[in-house]
Structures are given as structure tokens and as C-alpha cells.
Amino acid sequence: MSCVRLTLLSVYYIMRTFSSLILGNNKNFIIICRADKLHSIMIY
């Protein structure tokens, strides 16, 4: 189960970094960071 969780997290982080690079906007990056905190709370 932890392996699946790690792979999902790595895919999520890769997608997040790619989206932030494509957007290139600080506001969007802050929103993504906030969503990331919520996501980590939901997982753990």
C-alpha cells in the first residue's frame, strides 16, 4: 500500500511541477502549494 501511495505522490508532484512551469505564475503556484498542503493532510 505504501508503494502505491509513493508512486501516486511522485506522479502528483511531477504533474504539479509541470503545471507550475507551464503556468509560470506566482499566484497559481501559491494556490497549488495550498492545494498540496490540503492533499498531504488528506493522505496522512
Look at residue 5 and tell me whether its pLDDT is greater than 70: yes
Q: What is the pTM of this model?
A: 0.41
**What DSSP element (H or E) covers 26?**
helix 26-43
Look at residue 39 and tell me whether its pLDDT is greater than 60: yes
Model confidence at 31, pLDDT cuts 50, 70, 90, reads: low
* pLDDT for the residue 7: 86
Question: Per the structure block, which three cell numbers stand in for 38?
Answer: 490540503
